């Protein structure tokens, strides 16, 4: 994928801060929309977002005002100068949004997960010069995310970017949607010029974590933030807990730090290189240790084959995992990190033993 027009657009904006997309989760009334927009006019926000069509998990809940709210966004742009953005879930939404000259369209996580819906949208907006952003799918599937972006690109939609809003998980977490930062990092590595916006509101699911997630995103060189903002968030018709007030948005943007791209002093560069050499040596040791461990695993596989013993010994595995989690936490390593590492090692061990037993 070539450099996107959205990337060029961001460069031309010459913002002194990350791009900020802000506004309510849902457009509830015209008065509410205009109140929030006028509050955001004098903040770092460049783009006003509002949910017009709201895909809800359960029926009978507020699912948005629909096309009725699009003239409200036109009024926002006219009175405040803010650009406007809405989520589209199907081709019909896309066509109507274009008719009302919405500046930015985004595909939500529930849409990205469906290649047929993405293809229909791509065909409906073929060749548009509007900015189109693609949220990651609900499940942690990088290829599905990339596939949605590629479908749009192949329909000559070149003003493209991505939104990272975290991933669903059955595991209990402090997040509504687990960030799984490595996935957007991998996306950035695959497509270095593709702008990525972080959505801390949907990652956190509560307003108190928004600053920390936003700072992490900026530390990872994300291009901007999409933060749900409401003048009276506790009374919001949807996702009340994760919305902040406009004055809180101002506070967050004042405190957030944008890190430098690189070290500039020779002394700092020298220190960094020394640390990197240490990391490289440790990585080599890790690989050697893992290789030696797998050799032992293969010996265990041979013993199991000789005695017709099942590969998976679940009680033993649970004991190992619990012990490693405890030891890891004693050394300052998080439970989630240790579980991921040892589950991956366990899966590789099973694969080695399966190969021997069934070989």
Given pLDDT bands bounded at 50, 70 and 90, which one contains residue 144?
A: very high
**DSSP label at 259?**
P
**Quick one: tokens of 75?**
């009024």
**DSSP label at 332?**
T
Burial of 45 per CB tally in 10 Å (0-12, 13-18, 19+): buried
**Quick one: tokens of 200?**
């801390």
Burial of 300 per CB tally in 10 Å (0-12, 13-18, 19+): middle
As a whole number of angstroms, the distance between CA 56 and CA 110 comes to 10
In terms of phi and psi (left: phi > 0; alpha: psi -120 to 50; beta: otherwise), the region of 117 is: alpha
Per-residue pLDDT for 228 more than 60?
A: yes
Strands 47-49 and 83-88: parallel
As a whole number of angstroms, the distance between CA 250 and CA 252 comes to 6
Given pLDDT bands bounded at 50, 70 and 90, which one contains residue 267?
A: low
Given pLDDT bands bounded at 50, 70 and 90, which one contains residue 162?
A: very high
- Bigger pLDDT: 62 vs 217: 217
Closest to 75 in 3D by CA, of 101, 46, 96: 101
CB 116 within 8 A of CB 107: no
pLDDT at residue 261 in the model: 66
> Please, which residues have CB within 8 angstroms of residue 233's CB and are 6 or more apart in sequence?
207, 240, 241, 243, 244, 245
pLDDT at residue 28 in the model: 97
Burial of 315 per CB tally in 10 Å (0-12, 13-18, 19+): exposed
- What DSSP line would sit under 67-104, residue for residue? GGGHHHHHHHHHHH--EEEEEE-SHHHHHHHHHTT-SE
Given pLDDT bands bounded at 50, 70 and 90, which one contains residue 58?
A: confident
Distances (CA, A) of 259 to 150, 215, 221, 238, 253: 30, 10, 8, 34, 14
At 102-120, the pLDDT tens digits run 999 999 999 999 999 999 9
pLDDT at residue 249 in the model: 97
Q: What's the rounded mean pLDDT across residues 85-109?
A: 97
Given pLDDT bands bounded at 50, 70 and 90, which one contains residue 2?
A: low
Domains of the chain, earliest start first: 5-255 (3.20.20.70), 266-357 (1.20.59.10)
**DSSP label at 169?**
-
**Quick one: tokens of 153?**
């690109």
**DSSP label at 129?**
-
Q: What's the rounded mean pLDDT across residues 150-170?
A: 95
């Amino acid at each position: 994928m070539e450099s996107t027009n959205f990337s060029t657009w961001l460069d031309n904006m010459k913002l002194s801060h990350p791009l900020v997309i802000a506004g309510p989760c849902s457009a509830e009334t015209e008065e509410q929309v205009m109140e929030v927009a006028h509050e955001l006019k004098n903040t770092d926000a460049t783009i006003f977002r509002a949910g017009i069509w709201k895909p809800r998990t359960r029926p009978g809940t507020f699912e948005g005002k629909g096309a009725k709210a699009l003239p409200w966004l036109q009024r926002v742009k006219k009175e405040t100068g803010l650009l406007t953005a809405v989520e589209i879930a199907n081709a019909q939404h896309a066509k109507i949004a274009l008719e009302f000259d919405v500046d930015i369209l985004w595909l939500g996580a529930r849409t990205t997960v469906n290649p047929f819906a993405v293809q229909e949208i791509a065909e409906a907006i073929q060749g548009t010069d509007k900015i189109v952003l693609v949220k990651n799918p609900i499940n942690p599937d990088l290829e599905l995310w990339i596939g949605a972006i590629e479908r749009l690109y192949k329909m000559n939609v070149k003003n493209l970017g991505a939104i990272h809003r975290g991933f669903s998980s059955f595991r209990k977490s402090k997040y509504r949607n687990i960030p799984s930062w490595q996935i957007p990092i991998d996306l950035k590595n695959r497509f270095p010029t593709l702008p990525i916006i972080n959505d801390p509101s949907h990652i956190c699911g509560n307003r108190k974590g928004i600053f920390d997630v936003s700072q992490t995103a900026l530390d990872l060189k994300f291009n901007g933030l999409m933060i749900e903002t409401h003048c009276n968030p506790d009374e919001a018709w949807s996702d009340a807990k994760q919305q902040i007030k406009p004055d809180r948005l101002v506070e967050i943007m004042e405190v957030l730090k944008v890190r430098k791209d690189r070290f500039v002093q020779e002394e700092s560069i020298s220190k960094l290189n020394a640390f990197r050499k240490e990391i490289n040596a440790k990585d080599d040791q890790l690989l050697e240790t893992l290789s030696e461990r797998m050799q032992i695993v293969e010996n265990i596989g041979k013993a199991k084959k000789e005695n017709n013993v099942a590969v998976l010994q679940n009680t033993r595995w649970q004991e190992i995992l619990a012990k490693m989690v405890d030891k890891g936490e004693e050394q300052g390593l998080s439970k989630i990190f240790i579980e991921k590492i040892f589950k991956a090692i366990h899966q590789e061990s099973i694969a080695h033993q399966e190969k021997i037993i069934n070989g």
